[in-house]
Amino acid sequence: MVGTEGQLLPTLQEFELVVKMVDPTVKYDVCWDELHSMTACVFLKTSSGWNGSDDYEFNALPAGGFDTQKNEFYAFGEWAFFFASTEVKITGFAR
């Protein structure tokens, strides 16, 4: 289980819809198999402790990632990874 009871873990399509609503000009990167939008990044990032404006009260935090091969955290304060309920070939939805 991810999160607490009653919390919604969105599908990949639902998360992509949010990004596309924030930035209708978002581009899909076929090499990385993900969406890239600097506009959505700024508008969805928290305005406290990260260089975002949080215009949509999404409040994304700079959590970084975890390297399972090295058993260590990396990029803390630089990245946010989002999980979706949709099963995909990667472990999360990164922005």
Report the alpha-carbon distance of residue 79 to residue 92 in Å, rounded: 12
Q: Model-level pTM? A: 0.67
pLDDT in the model for residue 33 = 63
Name the strand (E) or helix (H) holding 15.
helix 12-22
Residue 52: inside a domain: yes
Could you report the per-residue pLDDT of 35-66, keeping only the tens digit for each? Answer: 778 888 889 888 887 888 999 998 888 888 88
How many domains are there within the chain? 1
5 falls within a domain: no
80 part of a folded domain: yes
Greater model confidence, 33 or 86: 86
Q: Which residue has the higher pLDDT, 79 or 45?
A: 45
> Within a domain: residue 3?
no
CA distances from 22 to 1, 71, 73, 81, 82 (A): 29, 35, 29, 18, 16
